[in-house]
Amino acid sequence: MSLTEDLSKWFKVWVRTKNTQFGLVAFVVLILVMFGNFSYWSGAMEYGPAKIIATGGEFDWSAYSETNTSLGMESGYLYAETEVAQTRDITNENIYRVTFILTWQDEADSEAPTNIPGIIFPYENQPDEFGLEVVSPWGDSENASGSNSYDSNGGYGEIIVTYDIIPEAQPSVNGTGAWNITIEMKSAGMFISSRPNAVLGIYDGSNDWDLEVMVDHYV
Ligand SMILES: [Ca+2]
Ligand SMILES: [Ca+2]
């Protein structure tokens, strides 16, 4: 028997031994596990393990209806260079927009105190200027100001402050709560006449105002 035949016979006997078979299986399993781990970790380092990432996106409101609700009109009267503050509690939920609309109408030219009705009204009432400031329940402040247009029958003025809100859950209380509103009459334009013999200006020192609050929300 040659050396090669001896080794072959010895190897066949060695392979048939149960311990050897177990050892071979264990070795193969070990290699597979190591390879698997390497693949996993190398993959993890490159791409990161699979996981669900919280998107932080909006709630799906497709099953809800978009509704616009007026919270009513409030009215007041201000003199130039004065202001008035008020708090409006909004109880609606799932709000995506809150709109504050301040409107006013300046006095008509005919209301100039020295004019005689039915004769001629040479005075033109110059625009008044208002300001509107709104502080949200979370303390964010927005403001706007503006003057009315001129109209002989009383110029119309409007200032709008809008908050767009992202309702991220159901129910959402983003926008629900106390809103602080300040209405300021910054200045009042006088009645002015271009007639040479007229009194140059007649005092207009005040005006009425209306404030409407609108809420857009899902129901
Ligand atoms: Ca005016
Ligand atoms: Ca006025």
Q: How far is the CA of 151 from the centre of ligand 2 (A)?
A: 12
For residues 34 and 129, state if they share a domain. Answer: no
pLDDT at 53: 40
User: 98-124, pLDDT tens digit by residue?
Assistant: 999 999 999 999 888 765 555 566 789
| Domain span including residue 208 | 66-218
Residue 52 lies in a domain: no
Report the CATH number at residue 78: 2.60.120.380
Q: How far is the CA of 190 from the centre of ligand 2 (A)?
A: 8
Q: How far is the CA of 71 from the centre of ligand 1 (A)?
A: 29
How many helices, marked H, and strands, marked E, lie in the chain? 2, 11
Lowest mean pLDDT among 30-34, 104-108, 163-167: 30-34
For residues 198 and 125, state if they share a domain. Answer: yes
For residues 98 and 181, state if they share a domain. Answer: yes
Omega before 167 within 30 of 0, i.e. cis: no
Residue 60 lies in a domain: no
pLDDT at 114: 67
DSSP 112: S
Q: How far is the CA of 184 from the centre of ligand 1 (A)?
A: 15
The reported pTM is 0.71
Residue 78 lies in a domain: yes
For residues 212 and 106, state if they share a domain. Answer: yes
Domain count along the chain: 2
Lowest mean pLDDT among 26-30, 44-48, 172-176: 44-48
Q: How far is the CA of 107 from the centre of ligand 1 (A)?
A: 6
Residue 201: how many CA atoms within 13 Å on its side-chain side? 8
Q: How far is the CA of 166 from the centre of ligand 1 (A)?
A: 39
As a whole number, the mean pLDDT across the chain is: 81
Ligand of minimum distance to the alpha carbon of 127: 1
pLDDT at 38: 40
Residue 87 lies in a domain: yes
Taking residue 104's Cβ as centre, other Cβ atoms within 10 Å add up to 24
Ligand of minimum distance to the alpha carbon of 126: 1
